[in-house]
Amino acid sequence: MIGEAAVRAGCRFYAGYPITPQNELTEYAASAMAKLEDGTFIQAESEIAAINMVIGASMAGARAMTSSSSPGISLKQEGISYLAAQELPAVIVNTMRGGPGLGNIAPAQGDYFQATRGGGHGDYRTIVLAPASGQESADLTRKAFDYADKYLTPVMILGDGMMGQMMEPVEFPEPVDLSKLPPKPWVLDGAVGRPSRLIRSLLLDTSVEEDHNWKLARKYETIAREIVGGETYMTEDARLVIIAYGTAARIAKGAVKRVREIGLKVGLFRPYTLFPYPNRMIVEMSRFVKDFLVFEMSTGQMVEDVKLALEGRSNVHFYGRPGGIVSTPDEISKEINSLYHRRHLEEE
Amino acid sequence: MAKKTKKGRITIDRELCKGCYLCAWVCPNHLIEVSDKLNQKGYYPAEFKETDEKEENHKCTGCAICATICPDIAIEVYRG
Amino acid sequence: MEKKVFQRPKYLKDAVFHYCPGCGHSIIHRLLAEVLEELDIGDKAIGVPPAGCAVLAYNYFDVDMGEAAHGRGAAVATGIKRILPDRIVFTYQGDGDIAAIGTAETIHAANRGENVTVIFVNNGTYGMTGGQMAPTTLPGQNSTTTPGGRDPDRDGPPIDLSQMLAITKGSTYIERTAVNSYKNIKRTKKALTKAFKTQMAGLGFSLVEILSPCPTNWKMSSVDAAKWVDETMTKIFPLKVIKDETGKRIDN
Residue A157 lies in a domain: yes
Domain CATH number, residue A313 = 3.40.50.920
Task: At B56, give phi and psi (nearest 5°).
Answer: -55, -45
Residues of B with CB under 8 A from a CB of C: 9, 16, 18-22, 25-26, 43, 62, 64-65, 67-73, 75-80
Q: Which helix (H) or strand (E) holds C205?
A: strand C205-211
What are the tens digits of pLDDT across the range B22-73?
A: 999 999 999 999 999 999 999 999 999 987 666 767 899 999 999 999 999 9
Q: Are residues A223 and A290 in the same domain?
A: no
User: Residue C235: CB partners within 8 Å, gap ≥ 6?
Assistant: none
Q: Are residues A240 and A216 in the same domain?
A: no
Annotate C51-89 with three-state secondary structure: CCHHHHHHHCECCEEECCCCCCHHHHHHHHHHHCCCCEE
Please indicate whether, in this complex, the C-beta atoms of C78 and A86 are within 8 angstroms of each other: no
Beta carbons of A254 and A266 less than 8 angstroms apart: no
Residue A82 lies in a domain: yes
Using CA atoms, how far apart are residues A262 and C162, in angstroms rounded to an integer? 73
Query: The complex's ipTM?
Result: 0.96
Angstroms from C31 CA to nearest CA on chain A: 19
Per-residue pLDDT of chain C (252 residues; tens, 9 = 90+): 789 999 899 999 999 999 999 999 999 999 999 999 999 999 999 999 999 899 999 999 999 999 999 999 999 999 999 999 999 999 999 999 999 999 999 999 999 999 999 999 999 999 999 999 999 999 999 999 999 999 999 999 999 999 999 999 999 999 999 999 999 999 999 999 999 999 999 999 999 999 999 999 999 999 999 999 999 999 999 999 999 999 989 986
Q: Which helix (H) or strand (E) holds A76?
A: helix A70-86
The whole-number pLDDT of residue B80 equals 83
* Cβ under 8 Å to B: C residues 19-58: 19-27, 30
Q: Are residues A109 and A248 in the same domain?
A: no
Q: Are residues A99 and A238 in the same domain?
A: no
Q: Are residues A127 and A170 in the same domain?
A: yes
Annotate A31-74 with three-state secondary structure: HHHHHCCCCEEEECCCHHHHHHHHHHHHHCCCEEEEEECHHHHH
Give me Rg for the CA atoms of chain B: 13
Q: Are residues A151 and A286 in the same domain?
A: no
The whole-number pLDDT of residue A193 equals 94
Query: Which of C4, C20, C215 lies nearest to residue B76, judging by beta carbons?
Result: C4
Residue in chain C closest to A54 (alpha carbons) equals C79
A313 lies in which domain range?
Answer: 230-342
Query: Which of B18, B68, B79 lies nearest to residue C182, judging by beta carbons?
Result: B68
Residue A179 lies in a domain: yes
Categorize the per-residue pLDDT at B1 as very low, low, confident or very high, splitting at 50, 70 and 90.
Answer: very low
Q: Which of C220, C210, C208, C71 is CA-nearest to residue C141?
A: C220
- Structural domains in chain C plus CATH codes: 24-244 (3.40.50.970)
- The answer to whether the peptide bond before residue A89 is cis (omega within 30 degrees of 0) is no
CATH code for B8-79? 3.30.70.20
Residue ranges per domain, chain B? 8-79
Q: Where are the beta strands (DSSP E) in chain B?
A: 8-12, 32-34, 46-48, 75-79
What are the tens digits of pLDDT across the range A115-150?
A: 999 999 999 999 999 999 999 999 999 999 999 999
**In this complex, is the C-beta atom of C223 within 8 Å of any C-beta atom belonging to chain B?**
yes
Using CA atoms, how far apart are residues A90 and A82, in angstroms rounded to an integer? 11
Residue A347 lies in a domain: no
Q: Are residues A204 and A301 in the same domain?
A: no
What are the tens digits of pLDDT across the range A21-78?
A: 999 999 999 999 999 999 999 999 999 999 999 999 999 999 999 999 999 999 999 9
Please indicate whether, in this complex, the C-beta atoms of C62 and A196 are within 8 angstroms of each other: yes
User: Residue C125: CB partners within 8 Å, gap ≥ 6?
Assistant: C95, C131, C132, C133, C134, C137, C143, C214, C217, C218
Residue A348 lies in a domain: no
Please indicate whether, in this complex, the C-beta atoms of B68 and C6 are within 8 angstroms of each other: yes
| Interchain contact B/A (3 or more Cβ pairs less than 8 Å) | no
Using CA atoms, how far apart are residues A72 and C211, in angstroms rounded to an integer? 36
Average of per-residue pLDDT across A312-320 = 98
- The answer to whether the peptide bond before residue A131 is cis (omega within 30 degrees of 0) is no
Q: How many domains does chain A have?
A: 2
